[in-house]
Amino acid sequence: MIAVSARKRLFGAGGDFLMEIDVRIGRGGITAIAGPSGSGKTTFLRMLAGLTAPDDGLLEVDGRIWFRGKGGRKPRVNLSPQERGVGIVFQGYALFPHMTVLGNLLYASPDRAMAEKLLAMTGLRQLRDVRPGNLSGGQKQRVALARALMQKPRLLLLDEPLSALDERMKSLLQDELLKVHRELGVTMLIVTHDSSEIYKLCDRVLVFEKGGIAADTSPHELFVKGATTQKFAFKGEILEIRAVDAIHVAVVAIGNNLVEVVIDAQEKESLAPGDSVVIGTKAFNPTVRAFEKGEFDFSKL
């Protein structure tokens, strides 16, 4: 059980803001941390790992205090990263370039049996004597994951672990993460922008915005709600609205696909290129409508 209540002033590209996080995360789950860049997601992971200290607050994990700020009467506590024993997979992997794959794992812990087990689990057996410089992105990702698991951490933090990989590799590694989670029962926190990843892996989503938690919900609630009244619905962005004879056509990007949708004059007035929209259909007519106020803006994930 992780209980966080932390405050920290952050210096973002869009000016300073106060990060205020109050959240409890249970053991054993996979929690996604989503939100626009600069909203404090990585800082949150770094606070848990002990790499960045909050200005104030309390961080308690399984009844042990990892951080306590100066606010209370009791003395300040700030356990070092070494004392916390959190597994962390960095964005960009941070593999030791002078060590082989096996060397990277054994640096974490000289437990050879564990190293063999993880190499087998992540399909890295053949690459054990290769240095990170000669590995592909997906292979590096696996090494970083295996290395983080060498110390049998109870908490594993992953900072956009799959964002640099292609779709096929992503999907493969998502399966691998699920396998690792099933076999080792480690609590995972994943920073990710990828909605399919959140849906596939996670049982809970924390959406960060400007240093606070804007939404704390399940992936199902987050993605499926709002679309259930319609047969199908896709989120997209309007790229262009152009007049064709008497009608107007909106060009909408949905994922990697472009679609053209006919819109009427009234819709044309209320929509503009760059707007996030939901394209749905009732019966046979696709409709395009703007996001309602308060409806979550998926494009900001």
Partner 1 sequence: MRILIPTCRDNEAIETRNKYIEVPMNQHFDTEPFLLSFRLAGMTTAILFLLCVPLAWKLAGARSRVKPFVEAFVSMPIVLPPTVLGFYLLVILSDRSPLGAWLGDTLDAGLVFSFEGILIASCVYSLPFMLQPLQSGMEQVPARLLEASYALGKSKLQTLLRVILPNIKPSLLTGVVITFAHTVGEFGVVLMVGGSIQGETRVASIAIYELVETLDYTTAHLYSMILIVFSFAVLLLVYTFNRRKGESEGR
Task: Provide the total of helices (H) and of strands (E) in the chain, helices listed first.
Answer: 9, 16
Closest CA to 247 of 262, 236, 226: 262
Q: How many angstroms separate the Cα of 56 from the Cα of each of 20, 69, 72, 131, 282?
A: 10, 4, 10, 41, 51
Candidate ranges 147-155, 225-233, 235-243, 253-261; the one touching partner 1 (CB under 8 A): 147-155
Choose between 25 and 48: whose C-beta lies nearer to partner 1. Answer: 48
Q: What is the CA radius of gyration of the chain?
A: 22
Task: Kindly tell me which residue out of 150, 173, 180, 191 binds partner 1, with binding defined by CB under 8 A.
Answer: 150
Stretches 56-64, 96-104, 170-178, 198-206: which one binds partner 1 (CB under 8 A)?
Answer: 96-104
Q: CA-to-CA distance for 215 and 212, rounded, in angstroms? A: 9
85, 171, 209, 249: which one binds partner 1 (CB under 8 A): 85
Positions 188 through 227 that interact with partner 1 (CB under 8 A) = none
Pull the structure tokens for residue 170: 């992503």
CB closer to partner 1 out of 8 and 46 = 46
**C-beta closer to partner 1: residue 97 or 294:** 97
Looking at 11, 63, 82, 257, which residue binds partner 1 (CB under 8 A)? 82
Residue in 15, 133, 274, 294 binding partner 1, rule: CB under 8 A:
133
The secondary structure element, H or E, covering residue 180 is helix 167-184
Only segment of 29-37, 74-82, 194-202, 282-290 that touches partner 1 (CB under 8 A): 74-82
- DSSP summary character for residue 125: G
Beta sheet of 15-25, edge-to-edge order: 15-25, 2-12, 56-61, 64-68, 77-78
Least Å from the CB of residue 114 to partner 1: 13
Q: Using the rule CB under 8 A, is 44 a contact of partner 1? A: no
**Closest of 140, 155, 143 to residue 61, by C-alpha:** 155
Q: Under a CB-based contact definition with an 8 Å cutoff, are residues 83 and 49 in contact?
A: no
Number of residues that bind partner 1 (CB under 8 A): 26
Q: How far is the CB of 122 from partner 1 (least distance, A)?
A: 17
Interface with partner 1 (CB under 8 A): 49-51, 80-82, 84-88, 90, 92, 94-98, 107-109, 133, 147-148, 150-151
